[in-house]
Amino acid sequence: MEGSTGDERIAESQRAEVSEDQQMAIEEVYALAKQCRQEKDYMTEAYWYEMLLMYRNIDKEWLETTQYSCGKAYFDAGREKDALHWFEKAACQGNKKAKLRCGRMYAQSEDANDQKKALYWLEQAAEDGNPEIQQLCGDMNCWGKGTKVNYARALEWYERAAPWGNASSHYARGMMYYTGDSVSTDHAKALEWLKKAARGNHGYAQYQCGWMYQHGEGTPKNPEKAFSCYEEAASNGHDGALHQLGLMYYRGEGVKKDRKKAFDCCHEAGVKGVPEAQFQCGQMYYKGDGTRKDLKKALRWFEKAGRSGCKEAWLICGKMYYKGTGTDTDYTKALSWYEKAAGEEDCPGNGEAKYICGIICCAEGKPKEEREKGLRLIKEAAEQGYKPAWIALRFKFRPQRSKTDE
């Protein structure tokens, strides 16, 4: 265990005292631990509980309580790793509080395996009938945290949390019909349930209703209703709805065309981290569309979008650094963006990205291995039908014939 040198010396001396007096009553140890808690000496409290667990045969009815108390002492001492160790032991013995503690602690991690453990323990805790935890289990299944998105399972938990139905359960049922999860796909029924959820101010349901009205799924196309739904969703914190409002203002779809409002919506959504909105901001700064033309800001937004996983931005960032647009020419940065685009076959401009990577790698003075890599990329681009790569292979990188071949 971790801890200061002072803590270790105290614990060692206390352990020696215990070994000399193996007959110390369990009740006495509990009393010492309780006194430590009153004095807020949580490390020593944890020691006493741990001593009981290591050196005494504790009845099963007391075992889980002691394990939980040991975890709680470590937690209050700031030793979360040790706390989780004992909470899990207590949870495995059936301790309800420990199950909930394990679920909440694992849920704080972004690690996928920890998220799975979080969902496992929270679902265990939810079996005891706590509506708040049942709602949380529904949310995790609905958003795919610790599991694949599972609307049927989410609905099960939502209905246990609120048997009379609520916006979350209506949303899950609607998405079941929309995606065909455990039922036959039926967009009309999906929209019916999603509208019920939307009336309960469920932002994601309002967004989905907007999408379905916009694209005519389960209902005739109605851009005006779509716009209204997106507005409601945005007011309830759905950042993607802001981006959709921006696009509708940009195209004049369901609302009067207004490029300034389009930019404002996309900018707000971009600031909040929506990759597609960040890309749109880059395009609007690049063209001076709805805002003053600014190539430096355009590049900055394209890079934000690219770092957020927007594949369309990768090629553009590469081009801007390669040509020195909105920045100084920087072949190293250009290559890093082009390589991202070249490495994803479904990335827009994949063939062009491979060709430019190849040209950079084949530059004069590059090592042989890098030139060989460059030539391979150019060949791949040509095979994908990118014409400049085919021309380069035909004329610039044409194999030299030896004199004996002539």
Q: Quick check: 223 and 247 in contact, CB under 8 A?
A: no
In tens, the pLDDT along 165-215 reads 899 999 999 999 999 998 999 999 999 999 999 999 999 999 999 999 999
346: domain range?
A: 329-398
pLDDT at 219 over 90: yes
pLDDT at 291 over 90: yes
Q: Look at the chain and report how many structural domains it folds into.
A: 1
Side-chain-side CA neighbours of residue 192 (13 Å): 5
* Distance, first Cα to last Cα, the chain: 78
pLDDT at 19 over 70: no
In tens, the pLDDT along 332-364 reads 999 999 999 999 999 999 999 999 999 999 988
Considering the domain boundaries, does residue 369 fall inside one?
Answer: yes
Q: Alpha carbon of 380 to those of 167, 173, 190, 354, 359: distances in Å?
A: 51, 46, 44, 7, 13
In tens, the pLDDT along 121-135 reads 999 999 988 999 999
Considering the domain boundaries, does residue 373 fall inside one?
Answer: yes
Q: What is the pLDDT of residue 20?
A: 45
pTM, two decimal places: 0.80
Considering the domain boundaries, does residue 199 fall inside one?
Answer: no
Q: Mean pLDDT of all residues in the chain?
A: 91
pLDDT at 15 over 90: no
Considering the domain boundaries, does residue 361 fall inside one?
Answer: yes
Q: Alpha carbon of 130 to those of 125, 348, 390: distances in Å?
A: 8, 48, 65
Considering the domain boundaries, does residue 282 fall inside one?
Answer: no
Considering the domain boundaries, does residue 278 fall inside one?
Answer: no
Q: What is the pLDDT of residue 58?
A: 78
Considering the domain boundaries, does residue 239 fall inside one?
Answer: no
pLDDT at 380 over 80: yes
Angle at 357 between CA 356 and CA 359, to 5 degrees: 60
Q: What is the pLDDT of residue 252?
A: 98
Considering the domain boundaries, does residue 380 fall inside one?
Answer: yes
pLDDT at 137 over 90: yes
CA neighbor of 303 nearest in space, from 269, 334, 266, 345 = 334
Beta carbons within 8 Å of 100's beta carbon, 6+ residues apart: 121, 122, 125, 130, 133
Sorting pLDDT into bands at 50, 70 and 90, what band is 402? very low
- Residue 328 has a CB neighbour count (10 Å cut-off) of 7
